Structure 1
Amino acid sequence: MNLLSKSLCAALLSIAGVASSAHAAVQIVGTRVVYPAAEREVTVRVLNSGNAPRLIQAWADSGDDHETAETSKAPFLINPPLSRIDAGKGQTFRLMFNGAPVPQDRESVYWLNIVEIPTRPDAKSGADNYLQFAVRTRIKIFYRPTTLSGDPASAATQLTWKATQRDGKVALTCTNGSAYNVSMGDVHLKGAANRDNVTGGGMCPAKGSETFLLDGADTGTVAYSVIDDYGAMKERESPYTR
């Protein structure tokens, strides 16, 4: 397992030849993990939609994508940490909080890593030269203390926005006074002519702030899509100050 983690950390790929094709076959059920502090564990389902078995390694990190299973600073244990999923089958991972001290006045954010490694082509297939990729997927883990006040569904209503200029663009700072993180699928200035250049989204952290550098005219209104606990998006608009 140490050897596996080191090789994944280096490049997340293994080369054995000169020609091949690769694609992700393993999919996580859901776009995020919400971990209520009162729960003993939370389960995460992973499916192999490919036509061959996959070796899966799972671990949590603290936000540094260079952390491996061995160097992780996240307060979670995942069982099983290493497994094989046959084609068309699934695997349930158990995510358990280890009791480490974390803030109790807001949600904390960590990341779940799922790495899939395809099996080596059968010698009978004649694939003497091939390129083999290990594909990593990361989704957020929201650790939610039981002491939090308010409602995660209404956290977006507490956001405030302020604009400044930076490098000829509008730098829009979002401040979140709630105890819940607000994830966004898209953030842009209302009426932006070139939607190809708008930000891909992000997150305004609980009791914190985040700045988005946006293209478009300074219209006084920001449009954004808020992602809820289930991965659904709701479009919102808000005025901002200067």
Structure 2
Amino acid sequence: MNPLIRCGLAAVMSIACMLAAPAQASVVIGGTRVVYPAQDQEVTLKLNNESTSPALIQVWLDDGDERSTPDTAKAPFNVAPPMFRMDGQTSQAVRLMYTGEALPTDKESLFWVNVLEVPPKADNSSERNVLQFAFRTRIKLFFRPVGLRGDLAGTVDGLTWSLVDAPAGKGLALQVRNPGAYHVNFAQVGLKTAQGTLGDQGGGMVAPGAVAVFPLKDVMHRPAGALQAEFAVINDFGALNLLDRPLTP
């Protein structure tokens, strides 16, 4: 890639990371997550340009650094094509290919797919007065080794939940332990009581073999009666499954 083009795109990407606006990207990713089975040579990511205008697209993967650029990102994957023009109302298939570096074989590994959309340059005087933004979208990629023990549903069943002090020392939180080999993603987490569900502040994730803590909004003391963790799990296809589980002491 031409160094000037690369530097220019990196600069635009950095601005896109720092700015926010009440607008939305025109290019939409066909899915909320990517599952990469280790035995596959590649997986395909579909992009759709839902606007009538063209856009310049750049795609790369990183290992969790939100401020990564195509030049600084670290991930054992190649992308084809890594940069391209998308006309309005068109689709593009992007191939993601694992390059074979050693990764854990007893659990999933997490990476992130970045899609940067740069809008076209204004070509008339009225459009030149409109503020334009580049958009970067990041979605998770789960690299799934061959012969991984269990499955996602079994991992969800094996989660253990407990009520603990919030990390900031003010109020309570739900703590979840994941002894399984799969990442579990939540759209919401709350404390289910006889009076209703309390403290839901959205979702999050717990990694394989890890512990995650979800502070409960406005829950300062342990409610009376039987308590359960109530949570919505996001599956491989982006669908939600609302569940509840008893708390461990």
Aligned residue in 2 for 1:211: 213
Q: Once superposed, which parts of structure 1, at least 4 consecutive aligned residues long, lie more than 2 Å away?
A: 20-23, 125-128, 191-195, 215-220
On the 8 A contact 1:80/1:93 being kept in 2, the answer is yes
Q: State which drifts further: 219-228 or 56-65.
A: 219-228
Q: Give the drift of 1:5.
A: 3.7
Choose from 211, 216, 235 the match for 1:228.
Answer: 235
Distance 1:14 1:210, change over 3 A: closer
Aligned residue in 2 for 1:23: 24
TM-score by length of 1: 0.90
Deviations 1:46-99 (A, max 9, x none): 000012011111000101111111111111111111011111001100000111
Aligned residue in 1 for 2:94: 93
On the 8 A contact 1:9/1:66 being kept in 2, the answer is no
SS of the residue 1:154 aligns to: helix
2:16 and 2:239 mapped to 1: Cα distance? 30
Structural mapping, 1:86-165, within 5 Å: 86-123=87-124, 126-165=126-165
Distance 1:77 1:149, change over 3 A: same
Choose from 200, 203, 207 the match for 2:202.
Answer: 200
1:105 and 1:193 mapped to 2: Cα distance? 39
SS of the residue 1:188 aligns to: strand
2:158 and 2:165 mapped to 1: Cα distance? 24
Q: What runs of 5+ residues in structure 1 fail to find an aligned partner? A: none
2:222 and 2:244 mapped to 1: Cα distance? 14
Q: Give the drift of 1:130.
A: 2.3
1:176 and 1:59 mapped to 2: Cα distance? 29
On the 8 A contact 2:49/2:87 being kept in 1, the answer is yes
On the 8 A contact 2:174/2:191 being kept in 1, the answer is no
Distance 1:170 1:81, change over 3 A: same
Q: Give the drift of 1:222.
A: 0.9
Q: What runs of 5+ residues in structure 2 fail to find an aligned partner? A: none
Aligned residue in 1 for 2:183: 181
Residue identity matched to 2:201:
T
1:108 and 1:156 mapped to 2: Cα distance? 17
Q: How many residues align?
A: 236
1:65 and 1:102 mapped to 2: Cα distance? 21
Choose from 2, 11, 15 the match for 1:7.
Answer: 11
SS of the residue 1:110 aligns to: strand
**Percent of aligned pairs sharing the same letter:** 39
Distance 1:184 1:226, change over 3 A: same
On the 8 A contact 1:59/1:112 being kept in 2, the answer is yes
Q: State which drifts further: 27-36 or 164-173.
A: 164-173
Aligned residue in 2 for 1:59: 60
On the 8 A contact 1:55/1:117 being kept in 2, the answer is yes
Distance 1:134 1:194, change over 3 A: farther
1:21 and 1:170 mapped to 2: Cα distance? 34
Distance 1:8 1:209, change over 3 A: farther
Q: Which has the higher contact order (CA 8 A, sep 6+)?
A: 1
2:18 and 2:160 mapped to 1: Cα distance? 46
Q: State which drifts further: 200-209 or 20-29.
A: 20-29
SS of the residue 1:190 aligns to: strand
Q: CA RMSD in A?
A: 2.2
On the 8 A contact 2:184/2:234 being kept in 1, the answer is yes
1:36 and 1:135 mapped to 2: Cα distance? 29
1:203 and 1:77 mapped to 2: Cα distance? 26
Q: State which drifts further: 31-40 or 201-210.
A: 201-210
Residue identity matched to 2:81:
P
